[in-house]
Amino acid sequence: MNFAVTADTADDSYLKTLADYFADKAEGWSGQKTAGFVLAFVQYIEYKYDSDSVGYDEYWKYPLETLFDQNGDCEDTTILYCAIMREMGYGTAMIIMPGHMAAGVSVEWEMNYTGSKNSIADIHYVELGGVKYYYGETTGTGWHIGEVPSSTGLDKLDEKDITVYTVKGLEEAAP
């Protein structure tokens, strides 16, 4: 199984504080509703291309950089979302496709939600090792967990065009 490691200890206390805040606000909520709540927060971070924000064509920010800069592109907000949700105890993944990255979050699916008019109709998830990671669009506002914007073209891609990495902390990735 492929996985990515997020292990910048300088970010840990800040991410824990943020994750604790979200956990307190979402006390008693389902995992799906909590994941959507955090997703809405991340979606309100301004989208800015790497070339405009850091001067490089491609640069993956640490979660704290995205929070500090209050902007980022798809991989920056995906990394931030995954880091917060992982800190809250949820399984997370990065879903990489040509020209885009989105988050995946492992939650108990409870709602019979069929998507909006601008989304691919079905609820989407990827499955690795028997775990379902529901799609989380971190760019733009108003996207729900499992909802994929039709603009991603995900429904037209072959499986081989999509790469999924589960996100683990350093302690989880050690052999």
At CA 151, angle to CA 108 and CA 64, rounded to 5? Answer: 60
E strands, the chain, in order: 3-6, 46-47, 71-72, 91-97, 100-106, 125-128, 131-136, 163-169
CA–CA separation, 154 vs 86, rounded Å? 25
CATH number of the domain that residue 28 is part of: 3.10.620
pLDDT at 19: 96
Q: Which two tokens stand for residue 150?
A: 């039709």
* pLDDT single digits (tens) 108-146: 887 655 555 555 556 788 888 899 999 999 999 999 998
**Run of H or E residues at 79:** helix 74-87
The pLDDT score that the predictor gives to residue 154 is: 74
CA atoms in the 13 A half-sphere facing the CB of 139: 15
Q: How far does CA 171 lie from the centroid of its chain?
A: 20
Q: Tell me the β-bridge partners of 169.
A: 6
Parallel, antiparallel, or unpaired for β 46-47 and 100-106? Answer: unpaired
Q: How far apart are CA 96 and CA 149, in angstroms?
A: 14
DSSP state of 149: B
Could you tell me how far CA 55 lies from the centroid of its own chain?
24
- pLDDT above 70: percentage of residues in the chain: 82
Please provide the average confidence, as pLDDT, over all residues in the chain: 84
Provide the number of structural domains found in the chain. Answer: 1
> Which alpha helices (H) appear in 3-56, and where do they start and end?
9-25, 31-43, 50-53
The predicted pLDDT at position 63 comes to: 92
For residue 111, what are the domain limits?
3-173
